Every structure is written in C-alpha cells, then in structure tokens.
Structure 1
Amino acid sequence: MSVASVRRAARESVSGLPREFWWLWTSTLVNRLGAFVSIFLAMFLTADQGRSASYAGLVGSLLGLGSVVSSIGGGVMTDRLGRRPTMLVAQASTAVSVAVLGFMTDPVAIAVVAFVVGMASNASRPAVQAMIADIVAPADRVRAFALNYWAINLGFAISSVAAGLVARYSYLLGFLGEAAMTLACAVLVFVKVPESRPDGAAAGGTKGARSARSDEPAVSMGTVLRDGRYMAVVGLSFLLALIFMQSQVALPVAMTEGGFSTTDYGLAIAVNGVLIVALQIPVTRFIEHRSPRRLLVVASLLGGYGFGLTAFADSLAVYALTVCVWTLAEIISSPTQMGLVVRLSPVQGRGRYQGMATLAWAVAALVAPVAGGTVIDRFGAGALWAGCAVVGTLAAGGYWALMRGLTPAGGSPGGAAEPAAPAVEQPATAG
C-alpha cells in the first residue's frame, strides 16, 4: 500500500463528521490521558497505604458498584438535564472526588470516596454516547463510535505508561494529575461542546411535556424495561461483556497457574491495546455499512472461541494469538453495539437507553471476576474457556434471531426513516 493510499484512507476515515463531534472526541482523549485510579488503585492501597489484598478488592468492587448505580442515573440526567450539563456535573464531580481520594487514609473514608469516584466517572458515558447519536448522521454513527472508542484506548495506552512513571515517585501526584486532566476535560466541554438534546427530550417521565417528535410518546425507565427487544439486546451485550471481562482476572490467574510470569501476561494483554489502536479505524471502514446482525454474530463467535482457544495455549505466542482473535471481536462489536443501541432507541429517550446499555457492561465488570475465579477454583481453567465458547455461541444465536430485518444504517428499513441529526444549540461561552 502506497503512502498516498494510506493518506487517502485516513482522510476518508475522519471526513464528513461535524466539528462538534471532534471537540467531543478531544474531550474523551483528554479524559483518558489522565487515567490513574483505574490502573493503580490496588497498588496504591497495598503498597502505599499498607492495606490487605482483600481490602483492595473490596474497594475495587465499590468502585465498580458506583459505576453500576450511575449508569441509570447518568442516563436519566442525560434526558432530563441535557447532554452537556450531565457531562459537566460528572466530570467536575470526578475531578473533586479523585483529588480527595488521594488524601484519604482512613479505610472507611477511602471506601466511601472510591464509591463516589465510581459513580462520578461513569455518569458521563450515556451523555457522550447520546450526544454522538444526536450530532452524527445515521450512516456515519458506527464510524463515529469507533473513533471515540479508539480515542479511549489510545488515551488509556498512553496514560498507562505515564501512570507507571508517576507512581514510582508519588501516588498522590497521580491522583492530582487525573483530577487536573478531568477538570480540563470539563472546561473543554463547557467552552467548546454545545448542547445537542433534541427539543422536548426532557419529556420522558414528565406529565404533559412535549415530545421530541409528535408521534413518539414520552419515555421513562419503565418504557426501557418494557421494550422487550431492546432488553434482549442488552442481555446479549451482557453475555458478550462477560466474555471480554475474563481478560482482567481469569486470564492472568490462568497464566500464573500455567507457570507464566506477570511480565508474560503484560506482554500478552498489550497485544489487545496495540491492535485496537492499529486496527480500529481500518476495520471500521470495512464494516460500517454492513449488516449489524451479521457483524454481532461474527463478533460473538470470535469472542467466545477466541477465549475458548486459551484452553490450548501452552506458550506466550499462543496466548498472544488468542488475544488477537478476541480483540478483533472487540473491535467489531464495540461500535456496532453502540450504533445498534441508538437505532433501537427513541430520540427523546436516548440517555435512558444508553444508560441501560452502560449498565450491562458495569454489571458484567462486577460479575465476571467472581464468576471466572469461582469456575477456575472449582472446575479448572479449561472449563472456563469452554464456557466462554458456549456463551459466545448463545450470544451469536440470540443476535441472529433478534436482529432479523435490520439493515446497515442509511439503508432500508433500518436507518433511512430516521430524521437527520438536529442542529445543535451554541452556548454563549463557545469560542
């Protein structure tokens, strides 16, 4: 491939998206560049604070529990208050709570503040995803979600290295650094990111309020829960998330039991980040106008059997190969699922629907470590990897059955009937 063709491909990957999206994308990148707590919280508690491993696990669980709680709360705020106010409140709260956490020494205070950090840091996700859906045309949404996901992983990859260097000198400096970066993200949103909520979107759950579209009823959380097809999709997303989450606890445990070192695990899992950064954009260009039904079936099978192949791994190279397989599933599934959520959501209920989708992953993050560890202890790692293959197959069958008739965005009958992205309201502070 020539340099000219690479440049052309890159230009086509980023062209046609509104300016507001790129400011939102930049805020996402800035936010992830400052990640520290999620990387070194356990080491901070054990090495710096002298706490036990079980206490570190408890605090980590509270951090995750906070994310579960805020998934729904953030979705409701997104619809009621608006996308921009929700992001500002969430990011400002995150900055303050992260800074406070760095100064905590009492075990109860640490646990409480960690729970608050989990709530604050996750509350903005439904707002970001709803805003992307608001401002990007249906045919470009998969690409937009993929670019945002790419920014998350690029920022996290850079911040992981930077956080390691900072932690060698001062954990407190890391906490304050994350607080500063998150605050900078909030300032960027305040100055450059306009509100995008469609007129009447706050109608959800309020009596007599005007709907965003005259033919659409008001949306409440009850509406979301009664949407059978959508909740089935959320359930399938939960199954897929359970598979991917095995990389965080079950995989390193299995590798350790197999005689591999922590360095070996680090090298194997690094393949995940490298591939996402390298392949997310070109793969998305290939899949963005293809059937979401087929893509999610393929992703489910690749994810399930990618982890299933781990049962046969006997060398670092084979472990790295299995990571390549399920990483491809992650690259395909992430933007496709986010685009699917938008297409199944009423315009005035995007925040609540996105919040429920976020909840599926937050709950999976809590359940997967316990489930994976329990299966390994009782039945062995081989049973867990076989179970991943079974779960992936079930998810693939579910997507195949549920998504009949759903075509690529912009086609028929899928995205063609959806109204164009509305004009966004320019705040007085925008520059």
Structure 2
Amino acid sequence: MRTVQGWLAETFGGLPKTFWYLWTGTLINRLGSFVLILLAMYLTKERGFSESQAGLALGAWGVGGAVGTMLGGVLADRWGRRPTLLTAHLGAAVLMVALGFARDLPMVIAAALLLGFFAEGTRPAFSAMMIDVVPEKDRLRAFSLNYWAINVGFACAALLAGLAAKADYLLVFTIDAATILITALIIFVKVREPRRAAATATATKSGTKSSGNMLTPLRDRAFVSFMLLNFLIAMVFLQHISMLPIAMSDDGLSPTTFGSVIALNGVLIVLGQLFIPRLIKDRGRPQVLALAAVITGLGFGLTAFAGSAWLYAGTVLIWTMGEMLSSPSNSSLVAELSPAALRGRYQGVFSLSWQGASAFAPVLGGLTREHLGNSALWLGCAVVTGVAAVCYLSFGHVWERRAAVLRSVTATPLAPTTRAPESSTTDEEPLTAHPAPDATLPEIAANQQPPTSRLTSVP
C-alpha cells in the first residue's frame, strides 16, 4: 500500500493547479477529436474524392497549421498565452463546423487551411504556458501526464468516431467543435496569465525589452537540427492518420474496425505512459530518442505485410511503444532548448516541424501509394526512422550541452527589485534573466554545433 501511495504521490503530486486546468482542457478537447481521425476516410468514401485530393485537403490543414504555429508563437510572447489560446480556440470551433458543411473541393481545402491555422495556433501558447507554470524538475512528469490525457481522449475518440460517423458525419464535426468551446471556457474561467509571460508581453509592448523576432529560433543551429529530426519522425508518424485508414479500407476493413485498431494506440499509452518517466529518467535522452525511432520504424515498416485487423493491430502496438518512449524526452528537451523570454516563438517554430509534416506527409504518402505501391510507403518509413536514429546519436551531445548552458542562465536571478515574491513561486518558477541565444551562447554556435551542411542534408 505504501508503495502504491508513494507512486501516486510521485506521479501526480506537487504540480500547480494551473497545470491541472490545462490538463483538463486537453482531456476534454481530445475526447471530441473525431475529425482528424476520420477526415481521410470521410473525404474519400463519403465525398468521393481521390486519394491525392484527400491528401491535398489534409496538406492544406498542415499548411494552415504551419502559419498558425509561427504566428501563435509570436502572439504568445507579445500578446500573452491566455488571449492567444482563447482566440485560437474560438476560431477553431467555428471553422470545424464550416468544414463539416463544405462540399466541393475548393471549399474543403479552404476550410481545412483555416481550421489548421486556428487549431494549431493554440500549441505554442499552450506549451509555453505549461513550461511557465511547471518547475523544471517536474516537467518530464508533467509532459507525460499531459500526453497521457491526450491519449485517454484519443482512445475514446477513436472508438466513438466510427459510431458517430455511422449516425451522421456532420455530428462528428459538431461534437469536435463543442469540445473545443468547452476547453476555451475552462481557460477563460480558470486560467490566468503566468507572471513571466505577462512581464515579457508588457516589456515588449513598451519597447523596454528586445525579445527577438519570429526567425530568431531558426538561427539557433542546435535547435534547428533537433527540429529537422522531429520533422522526419513526424512524416512517418502522421501516416497513421492519412494513409493507414485508406490502406485498411482497401483491405476491406470498415471505419469502425479502423477506429478500434487505432484506439489500441491510446489504450497502450493510457496503461503504460505513467510508468515511462521512471523508466527513462536516468538515461540519456538522445539514446532514448534513437531507440524510439527504431521501434517506430519497425512498427510502420511491418504495416507493409499487414492485411487483417489483427496484423494491423500488432503494428500499431509496436510503433506506439516507440511513441511512448519519445514523447516525454522530446518535450522536456525542447523546453530546455527554449530561452524563457522566447518560449512562445521556440514552441511555435518547433510545432512547425509537425505542421510541415502534416502538409507533406499525406501528399507524399498518397503519391507513394498511388505510384509505387503500399509496400514501398511503409518500408520507406522504416528507412527514414533508421536515418533519424543515427542522427539522434550523432547530434545528441550538442543538444545536451546547449540545455546545460541555458539551465545555468536560468539559475541566475534578476535583481531583487524584479524578483517575484516568494509566496507566488508555487505556480511557476521565479523570474530570471534569459538573454537571447546569440548573445549568451557564442561558444556553442561557433564550436559545438555540427556544420550547417550536415544539418541541412539530414532530410
């Protein structure tokens, strides 16, 4: 009993209440995330579009998301986390319903583009706020808990999506929009702007503090190398949304079967994700990420040989184990590579790797299946993740050195007159000085980064 109580306290205890409000909003939002799960199948089977046309619509979502995450990151730093989150959630709810009523391809693409812009524009502000309010020592645990909530919702949504689609596809879009509005209501009522974010936004508006610009993270070569590798992994991972449902449909499997198979992803994460932080906390993050890439590639590669629901389920379980290993290490490393005054921008640019993959993955996946065949797509995924694993091992020391330098900068407090009161430190870390990376890390940029030609040749 003491062991169980100790585990519960170690897993759930000591986190600030703002984190739990954000966590609750995440869970509710994901419980209704039907649309992205079924969009490819909806467009091809219900609307009669070709695989390439469906890929274009999904790609438009990714393009809109890419712009949304960049602008969302800037707004999170300049305008504030909370107003950015509220605006983006309200816009996403409206566009979700609009996509459900769209009929011809141009309207579908336009609605998907705008929906991607608003829906993905929430990510940088959400991530930056979570980093603001959770102390560094608890972030690996907090990210694992949040990822757990995402997958509790995803597992339920995957099961319910097929049932909702049988009743009426418009119901899928309506429920998704409703959960987005509920999340916005939680943020409006319960979540307040973090002190650090408010101070940064006020200083930026008054012109007393330079926080860099939208492109500042792209000049940080350590960060960019990490982002490019995440892009490769995301290109593979997002095939489960775009091409996997089509492959299963071609094998005669129904939307309900797809929902049940893909729900295993969420179920496994729900059962096992809370144990992952203890498993990996004393291991090097680059090594964990390399192992995760190999396991992910194995799962997607074996999809080439699947033809029944049971075989597809087996591949999902394999690549889910890779996902479980990579998620907390990925999130905590991104947090440590982001200077505090630029967290919104860094989170926005990092989200760009996912949005870029959202734009390219369905298009390239659709073209590969159409012209080279199903097996070529999935075996190619295994090759890509193998390359990424080698790169994680090669560049890992660069990211850890950079994170160590930023931690030392974070540990240096501002003058006493600008320090936050001691009584308010329970909800977020103390205000500290965070110069821009170019000013504080010249030795890393000059001596510790891989050559630019090596970084740009990774993809």
Provide the TM-score with structure 1 as the length reference.
0.84
Equivalent residue in structure 1 for 2:290, among 291, 297, 301 = 297
Deviation of 1:131 (Å): 0.7
1:342-357 paired onto structure 2 within 5 Å: 342-357=335-350
Aligned match of 2:236: 243
Specify the SS of the correspondent of 2:228: helix
Aligned match of 1:330: 323
Equivalent residue in structure 2 for 1:224, among 217, 222, 228 = 217
**Aligned partners of 1:142 and 1:391: how far apart in 2?**
27
Aligned match of 1:52: 49
Deviation of 1:207 (Å): 9.3
Equivalent residue in structure 1 for 2:67, among 56, 66, 69 = 69
**Aligned partners of 2:306 and 2:165: how far apart in 1?**
33
Specify the SS of the correspondent of 1:210: coil
Paired amino acid for 1:160: A
**Aligned partners of 2:219 and 2:151: how far apart in 1?**
34
Equivalent residue in structure 2 for 1:275, among 254, 268, 275 = 268
Aligned match of 2:113: 115
Q: Check 1:408–1:295 CA distance in 2 against 1; reply closer, same or farther (3 A cut).
A: farther
| Counterpart contact for 1:296–1:336, Cα < 8 Å | yes
Paired amino acid for 1:126: P
Q: Check 1:44–1:238 CA distance in 2 against 1; reply closer, same or farther (3 A cut).
A: closer
Paired amino acid for 1:122: E
1:382-421 paired onto structure 2 within 5 Å: 382-404=375-397, 415=407, 418-419=410-411
Per-residue displacement from partner, 1:149-184 (whole Å, max 9, x unpaired)?
Answer: 111121122233334434444444443333332222
Deviation of 1:317 (Å): 4.6
Aligned match of 1:202: 201
Q: Check 1:159–1:355 CA distance in 2 against 1; reply closer, same or farther (3 A cut).
A: same
Deviation of 1:352 (Å): 0.9
Deviation of 1:308 (Å): 3.0
Q: Check 1:40–1:327 CA distance in 2 against 1; reply closer, same or farther (3 A cut).
A: closer
- Stretch of structure 1 that moved more, 227-236 or 313-322: 313-322
**Aligned partners of 2:99 and 2:247: how far apart in 1?**
32
| Counterpart contact for 2:80–2:193, Cα < 8 Å | yes
**Aligned partners of 1:372 and 1:189: how far apart in 2?**
37
Per-residue displacement from partner, 1:16-51 (whole Å, max 9, x unpaired)?
Answer: 211110011111112222323323445666676x55
Q: Check 1:260–1:100 CA distance in 2 against 1; reply closer, same or farther (3 A cut).
A: closer
- Stretch of structure 1 that moved more, 361-370 or 18-27: 361-370
Specify the SS of the correspondent of 1:261: coil
**Aligned partners of 1:111 and 1:40: how far apart in 2?**
16
Q: Check 1:307–1:205 CA distance in 2 against 1; reply closer, same or farther (3 A cut).
A: farther
Q: Check 1:124–1:394 CA distance in 2 against 1; reply closer, same or farther (3 A cut).
A: same
Deviation of 1:376 (Å): 3.8
Deviation of 1:4 (Å): 5.9
Aligned match of 1:215: none
Higher helix share: 2
Paired amino acid for 2:289: L
Q: Check 1:393–1:15 CA distance in 2 against 1; reply closer, same or farther (3 A cut).
A: same
Paired amino acid for 2:346: Y
- Stretch of structure 1 that moved more, 374-383 or 414-423: 414-423
Specify the SS of the correspondent of 1:296: helix
Q: Check 1:44–1:392 CA distance in 2 against 1; reply closer, same or farther (3 A cut).
A: closer
**Aligned partners of 1:42 and 1:254: how far apart in 2?**
11
**Aligned partners of 2:125 and 2:305: how far apart in 1?**
41
Equivalent residue in structure 1 for 2:79, among 81, 86, 90 = 81
Deviation of 1:202 (Å): 3.5
| Counterpart contact for 1:307–1:389, Cα < 8 Å | yes
Deviation of 1:238 (Å): 0.4
**Aligned partners of 2:156 and 2:226: how far apart in 1?**
33
What value does the CA root-mean-square deviation take over the aligned residues?
A: 3.4
**Aligned partners of 2:367 and 2:44: how far apart in 1?**
23
Paired amino acid for 1:65: V
| Counterpart contact for 1:291–1:408, Cα < 8 Å | no
Aligned match of 2:457: none
Equivalent residue in structure 2 for 1:369, among 337, 346, 362 = 362
Specify the SS of the correspondent of 1:404: helix
Aligned match of 2:253: 261
- Stretch of structure 1 that moved more, 311-320 or 90-99: 311-320
Deviation of 1:52 (Å): 3.5
Equivalent residue in structure 2 for 1:360, among 330, 353, 356 = 353
**Aligned partners of 1:415 and 1:280: how far apart in 2?**
26
Deviation of 1:386 (Å): 3.6
- Stretch of structure 1 that moved more, 105-114 or 5-14: 105-114
Q: Check 1:294–1:108 CA distance in 2 against 1; reply closer, same or farther (3 A cut).
A: closer
Provide the TM-score with structure 2 as the length reference.
0.79
Paired amino acid for 1:308: G
**Aligned partners of 1:47 and 1:310: how far apart in 2?**
22
| Counterpart contact for 2:222–2:398, Cα < 8 Å | no
Percent of aligned positions with the same letter in both sequences?
42
- Stretch of structure 1 that moved more, 334-343 or 229-238: 334-343
Q: Check 1:227–1:285 CA distance in 2 against 1; reply closer, same or farther (3 A cut).
A: same
**Aligned partners of 1:408 and 1:145: how far apart in 2?**
22
Equivalent residue in structure 2 for 1:125, among 97, 119, 123 = 123
Paired amino acid for 1:228: R
Deviation of 1:62 (Å): 2.5
- Stretch of structure 1 that moved more, 93-102 or 199-208: 199-208
Equivalent residue in structure 1 for 2:137, among 123, 136, 139 = 139
- In the comparison of the two structures, how many residue pairs are matched? 415
**Aligned partners of 1:42 and 1:308: how far apart in 2?**
21
Paired amino acid for 2:267: V
Unaligned runs of 5+ in 1: 212-217, 427-431
Per-residue displacement from partner, 1:393-425 (whole Å, max 9, x unpaired)?
Answer: 22122222222166699x966746534997589
